[in-house]
Amino acid sequence: MRNGAKPRLDPAEVMLGERLFLETRFSQFFFARCGGDVNTNLSVGDPVLDNTLTTAQTLPGPFAGLSMNCRACHLIKEQMPLGRGIRAYADFARRSPIPGREDGQKFTPRNAPAMVNASIPRFGETFFHLDGEFATGAELVRETFLGRNFGWLPTEHDQAMRHLAKVIREDDGKGQLAKEFGGYSYKTVFKSAEKTVAENYELTEDYRIDVASATDREVLDAVARMTEVYTTSLFFSRNDKQEYDGSPYDTFLGKNDLPRRVAPGQEPAYYARILHSMVTNLTNTRFVSPADNCYRLLKLDFRFNKLELEGMKIFFARNAGSSRSGIGNCVACHTPPDFTDFSFHNTGVAQEEYDSIHGKGAFRKLPVPTLAERQKNFDAFLPATPKHPKALGVFLSIPSLEHPERTDLGLWNVFANPDKPSVQATLRQTLDPDGRVSEAQLLERTIATFKTPGLRGLAMSAPFMHNGTKDTVEGVIRFYIKASRQARAGELRNADPELSKMFLSEDDLEPLSAFLRALNEDYE
């Protein structure tokens, strides 16, 4: 491990997946400079990795002198020696820097989401990325390794696949990364022939592949599958009953005999209602203090007292015809115990950023093509893909004063997109379970909608929102105070109906922030 020596107790598949997650040779930068020798050491690394960007300062990059890998944007302890704290597989930037190419792109259009808990089982359909672009983790990994974040242009998709397969086939197992994982070549580990690798590095039969005889696509699929095994292993602490047990909130539930998980056959929304009722009627409340537990890595007090309980009640409170403050309606989207519904909502984040650049009301006036218009001219509106490499992606862009046509419409870029076939059936089922709404109408409902993030471990994933515009939990809450009022006034384009049911004031800021911080825990 790069974060200090520890016994290798993970299954062999997880260890190989972690090695692939850390691999720096899949990038276009390495390909263009290795001279065909996948085991060479580059004389100069990709400049984008020289530093780690944060909202406040620039830090030395943990992968300086190398080229892009997954960990560069999904950090853990790499910057702890410099006082920046632990990450839940997120970085510190508002938008992550990417390798420079002739298209001029310098940053991802969105904030890097935390990966811990991103692959946990869920009630309903599974989507990955903030816009639901991928149906499986393996698909996400595959397209990332071949995509722009690794420096590859849409026209280089096949070249990227051939290069990745070459790295896997010709790796000699002598590099520093290989030494950290047993000192075996990829070819040897993937084959896992009898007595060729130590038992703890030997893959089970289902994951083995002879990369020498496999096609490039088969090698790519094996790499993606193995990396998915690793990312699926990233989740917050749970006990043998699959109850979360690492945060002050979880400790509070346990001390008061409150249910910590959804019962079999129960929907998360129903669990939330039951839990809220039980908390509201709680007597002889037992609170949590540092005497119960303490953080080892986070510089926070481990506590759940009256302030956190007040915030919990605000968080769980649903609108029932009342317009008094203290009704957070947060559980409508951030459903416990995962604190996300894994679905899509427009809370006005994209509009706020766009209007801050182009003026109040500009986002509501922004021309957005209908389904028919979009179908007639893919390249003018949708993001570039290998099938449409010249597409402009104007609605998957960072908004700027120079380009008023550019913004990020989230799910709109994916739904009914013929180049994203794997998710269409499940998206349709999620957006219109009864099948009563036309595809054109559904597309309008996807404008500026993004997948709900989980709220556990917020101390390890700032800045917040899909565009990284909020530095603190308090900043997020103040945004919702304003956005909910805008929604009720009809000032938000395509606002989620649940947004107008939030009634928050500055008086709710302190308790609600305290509750959200009680969802933090150490992650190791």
SS in 3 state form for 215-276?
CHHHHHHHHHHHHHHHHHCCCCCECCCCCECCCHHHHHHHHCCCCCCCCCCCCHHHHHHHHH
Predicted local confidence at residue 424, as pLDDT: 97
Cβ contacts of 190 within 8 Å, gap of 6 or more: 16, 168, 203, 208, 209, 210, 211, 222
DSSP assigned state of 208 = -
Residues facing 75 on adjacent strands = 90
Q: Quote the longest CA-to-CA distance of the chain.
A: 71
DSSP assigned state of 322 = -
**Which of helix, strand or coil describes residue 176?**
helix
Which helix (H) or strand (E) segment holds residue 357: the answer is helix 349-358
Nearest 5°: phi and psi at 375? -65, -30
Predicted local confidence at residue 64, as pLDDT: 97
**Which of helix, strand or coil describes residue 476?**
helix
Residues facing 244 on adjacent strands = 238
Q: What is the pLDDT along the chain (524 residues), one digit of tens a residue?
A: 333 334 446 899 999 999 999 999 999 999 999 999 999 999 999 999 999 999 999 999 999 999 999 999 999 999 999 989 999 999 999 999 999 999 999 999 999 999 999 999 888 889 999 999 999 999 999 999 999 999 999 999 999 999 999 999 999 999 999 999 999 999 999 999 988 999 999 999 999 999 999 999 999 999 999 999 999 999 999 999 999 999 999 999 999 999 999 999 899 999 999 999 999 999 999 999 999 999 999 999 999 999 999 999 999 999 766 668 899 999 999 999 999 999 999 999 999 999 999 999 999 999 999 999 999 999 999 999 999 999 999 999 999 999 999 999 999 999 999 999 999 999 999 999 999 999 999 999 999 999 999 999 999 999 999 999 999 999 999 999 999 999 999 999 999 999 999 999 999 999 999 999 999 999 97
Structure tokens at 415: 């739904």
Which helix (H) or strand (E) segment holds residue 58: the answer is strand 58-60
Residues 335, 337, 339, 344, CA torsion sign: negative
Q: Which domains does the chain have, with CATH numbers?
A: 12-232 (1.10.760.10), 244-347+451-524 (1.10.760), 367-406+411-447 (no CATH)
Predicted local confidence at residue 322, as pLDDT: 66
Measured distance CA(478)–CA(258) in Å, rounded: 30
Closest among 130, 140, 134, 109 to 231, alpha carbons compared: 140
Closest among 300, 303, 284, 283 to 292, alpha carbons compared: 303
For the chain, the straight-line distance linking the first and the last C-alpha, in angstroms and rounded, comes to 12
Predicted local confidence at residue 321, as pLDDT: 63
Q: Are 448 and 409 in contact (CB under 8 A)?
A: yes
Q: Are 490 and 286 in contact (CB under 8 A)?
A: no
Which helix (H) or strand (E) segment holds residue 373: the answer is helix 371-376
Measured distance CA(457)–CA(117) in Å, rounded: 10
Measured distance CA(73)–CA(452) in Å, rounded: 20
Predicted local confidence at residue 9, as pLDDT: 60
Predicted local confidence at residue 295, as pLDDT: 95
Measured distance CA(348)–CA(168) in Å, rounded: 44
Structure tokens at 252: 């509070």
Nearest 5°: phi and psi at 451? -70, 140
Nearest 5°: phi and psi at 410? 60, -125
Crossing angle of helices 248-255 and 306-316, rounded to 10°? 90
Cα 304 → chain centroid:
27
Structure tokens at 421: 């076939």
